[in-house]
Amino acid sequence: MDWGGPGFVMAIIMVSTAGWLINNWIRAKHGYALENEWGGKTEPTDSAETKQLRAENAELHGKLDTMQDRMVVLEKIVTDRGYTLSDEIEALRDVPGKTATDSGVPLNMNTKTKA
């Protein structure tokens, strides 16, 4: 093989150009700045679809923040009040002197109170 011939030089040029094109294609696909042939960078422009997606993303982030705030409040309600409420219910069940059949204060509907 002749390393200094025109075929080898053309092969190197073709491989370099193909690598540059593939690199720019991947960068454009993922939204990175593109390289021009002198090594400078060209920033991509925002299209209408990109602007719409950014606005929708911002809206969804806002909703997520409000949902997280609500979750914090609900967790506080469940954890703080939940155990206290169950302790209070158990304390009412364990009142001394009461039997299982005692349902509380009897209502005597037939007697009239003297006023």
Is the separation of the CB atoms in 79 and 71 below 8 Å? Answer: no
Distance CA(84)–CA(89), nearest Å, equals 9
Which parts of the chain register pLDDT below 50?
115
Amino acid in the structure at residue 3:
W
pLDDT tens by residue, 20-42:
889 888 888 887 777 766 766 77
pLDDT of residue 48: 83
Looking at the whole model, is its pTM more than 0.85?
no
pLDDT of residue 115: 46
pLDDT of residue 104: 56
pLDDT of residue 37: 66
Distance CA(30)–CA(22), nearest Å, equals 13
> What's the residue count for the chain?
115
For the chain, what are the domain ranges? 18-93
Distance CA(96)–CA(98), nearest Å, equals 6
